[in-house]
Structure 1
Amino acid sequence: VLSNARLFLETPPRYGILVDPIQVVSLFLKDPYSWPAPCLIIVANAFAVVTLSLERRLAAGTLSEGAGAALHALNLLSILCFPAAVVLLVPSVTPVGAVFALAIYTILFLKLFSFRDVNKWCRERPPKP
């Protein structure tokens, strides 16, 4: 580990940066379908935004608790099914990328489920006198 760390620290001053980060980003932007796992991770933000907007509507009272619970259940179910379907149907997904993306989605599912529960408890809490 120490010899590799020394090599990592000595290489840029001696030889410069050998990998151009702009080329890596442009490669990703030119053909995003060759990178399905990072695209899956980026799309995960949409599920979090949906959950946030549902909770805002529930807190404002513009959405009933029953409809909110049904929409939350649909959103959480899609968090589990969508990445699994993409991993199974897209042949360019590597096993390492698939495991990483599915782990991110599993963590997101658990966090959004907890977010929904905590906000429900806060809505049900009686107001302080």
Structure 2
Amino acid sequence: MNPVTAYRFITANQFAVVGASTDRSKYGNRVLRWYQAHELPVIPVNHKEATVESVPAIASIEEIDDPANAAISIITPPKVTLGVLKKAKELGIQKIWLQPGAEDKAVLDYAREAGLDIIAGGPCILVQGPSLLTHRANL
């Protein structure tokens, strides 16, 4: 994981969890609760549910108020992830963490070709996130 990319990610003004789930056993829910437990401003992105973990959900990253200053964690199948990355590029979202399983070769190829500086192929935010939180304390 590139430390500069990780620093930019964790110091974002707002976070969104793409693939947030109401099922507490799924990673989309666990990642959302991680942000909540650390009192980080987070929005669930779920096109079917109005709320996830008592937080109003949005249907798409297009609904993020300030996309240039937001960071997104993506927990979706690779085919869905590819579409999310294309929309993120269009919206100017630069802080992107692909949680394990959200990427495949096509996703990684697109990210490279599009010039996206993503966190991928590595640890989940549930594992790596706690060590990054010290950077937020310095804001």
Answer yes or no: same fold by TM over 0.5: no
Higher strand share: 2
Higher helix share: 1
TM-score range, shorter chain: under 0.3
TM-score, normalised to structure 2, is: 0.22
Higher relative contact order (CA 8 A, sep 6+): 1
TM-score, normalised to structure 1, is: 0.23
